[in-house]
């Protein structure tokens, strides 16, 4: 087990370098960011040259990348164009986005899995058909439509929530945005659980458990659900990364100053340091979440062994 974890951690190193290099190159392809700093007019050449020097943009790309990586390992993620260190931006943005992601994941687990179990057990019944239809609707409506609609109805028309989240972004403010963010994944989780449950319901070990005279509750929760959760856990694990990086739309709609917003601003202002820094951390989170998922397999299915 320990060796397995170490091997996985070592495998992360090339993935990490590859991913950061790719992002670095992509941001560089967009061109010289200094030209955008002076509005609709030309920066005066001397100041522009000095800024380029200060941000290291006058050096060849490989050298910029090496310097950047060197700094990253000493904890220096560079400075954004507005003079703030990127680490400061991260310290502000990540807690907010992590809270939002937690709310979203919680919705996925609680609502998604419960609905999945119910529909999986009652396949073909009206409940099943209704939920399937609902998930289809959720899946086919883009997040920004759901977001704007919910914001307009709950925030403006009925006044149940504030349409914009305050900078503090506490858990209670994030419930509605979290639900919007989770909506599509929630539908997937429901469908995944449903299929999995429906399939395993007819498995031998379930029949044995029922024949043994175990109460229905125990059969479902201990035997059926536990085995059916493996694909769902894989999905949710991969979704953690996707939710954190992909919250750009939801964060913009609900005024959440999180990772998505910082990334968006970084891209619009072509700020290499911000974009690469945030993506680097996201890559790490994604890798760790995947490792956690793989470890969880063994919890769910004791037959799985690591070596």
Is 42 near another protein (CB under 8 A)?
Answer: yes
- From the list 138, 206, 210, 267, which residue makes contact with another protein (rule: CB under 8 A)? 267
CB 150 within 8 A of CB 180: yes
Total chain residues near another protein (CB under 8 A) = 65
Q: How far is the CB of 235 from another protein (least distance, A)?
A: 16
Is 2 near another protein (CB under 8 A)?
Answer: no
Distances (CA, A) of 5 to 2, 15, 78: 5, 16, 31
Nearest CB to another protein, comparing residues 136 and 156:
156
Mind spelling out the 3-state secondary structure of 10-48? HHHHHHHHHHHHHHHHHHHHCCCHHHHHHCCCCCCHHHH
Is 54 near another protein (CB under 8 A)?
Answer: yes
Is 10 near another protein (CB under 8 A)?
Answer: no
- Under DSSP, the state recorded for 122 is T
- From the list 34, 115, 176, 192, which residue makes contact with another protein (rule: CB under 8 A)? 34
Pick out residues in 133-152 that bind another protein (CB under 8 A).
Answer: 151-152
Cα angle for residues 173, 178, 181 (degrees, 5° grid): 145
- From the list 2, 39, 75, 213, which residue makes contact with another protein (rule: CB under 8 A)? 39
**Could you tell me how far CA 21 lies from the centroid of its own chain?**
21
Is 257 near another protein (CB under 8 A)?
Answer: yes
CB 154 within 8 A of CB 176: yes
Q: How far is the CB of 20 from another protein (least distance, A)?
A: 21
Which of 179, 190, 192 minimizes the C-alpha distance to 247? 179
Is 296 near another protein (CB under 8 A)?
Answer: yes
Q: How far is the CB of 30 from another protein (least distance, A)?
A: 6
Distances (CA, A) of 144 to 89, 92, 98, 240: 25, 24, 20, 19
**How many angstroms separate the first and last alpha carbons of the chain?**
6
**Chain residues that interact with another protein, rule: CB under 8 A:** 30-47, 50-51, 54, 81-84, 88-89, 92, 95, 98-99, 102, 151-152, 155-156, 159, 162-164, 166-170, 251-257, 261, 264-265, 267-270, 292, 295-296, 298-299, 302
């Amino acid at each position: 087990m320990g060796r397995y974890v170490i091997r996985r951690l070592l495998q992360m190193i090339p993935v990490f370098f590859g991913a950061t290099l790719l992002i670095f190159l992509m941001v560089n392809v967009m061109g010289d960011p200094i030209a955008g700093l002076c509005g609709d007019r030309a920066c005066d050449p001397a100041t522009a040259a000095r800024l380029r020097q200060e941000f290291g943009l006058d050096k060849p790309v490989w050298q910029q990348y090496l310097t950047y990586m060197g700094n990253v390992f000493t904890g220096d993620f560079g400075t954004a164009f507005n003079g703030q260190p990127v680490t400061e931006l991260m310290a502000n943005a990540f807690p907010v986005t992590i809270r939002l992601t937690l709310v979203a994941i919680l919705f996925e687990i609680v609502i998604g899995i419960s609905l999945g179990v119910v529909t999986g057990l009652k396949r073909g019944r009206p409940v099943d058909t209704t939920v399937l239809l609902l998930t289809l609707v959720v899946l086919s409506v883009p997040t920004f439509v759901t977001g704007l609609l919910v914001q307009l109805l709950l925030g403006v028309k009925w006044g149940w929530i504030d349409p914009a989240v305050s900078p503090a972004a506490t858990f209670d403010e994030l419930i509605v945005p979290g639900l919007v963010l989770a909506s599509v994944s929630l539908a997937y989780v429901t469908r995944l659980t449903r299929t999995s449950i429906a399939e395993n319901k007819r498995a031998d070990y379930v029949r044995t458990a029922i024949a043994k005279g175990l109460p229905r509750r125990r059969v479902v929760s201990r035997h059926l659900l536990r085995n059916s959760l493996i694909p769902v856990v894989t999905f949710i694990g991969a979704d953690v990364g996707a939710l954190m990086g992909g919250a750009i739309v939801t964060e913009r709609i609900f005024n959440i100053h999180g990772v998505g917003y910082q990334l968006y601003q970084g891209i619009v202002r072509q700020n290499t340091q911000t974009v690469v820094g945030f993506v680097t951390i996201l890559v790490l989170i994604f890798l760790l979440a995947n490792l956690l998922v793989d470890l969880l397999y063994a919890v769910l299915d004791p037959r799985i062994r690591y070596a």
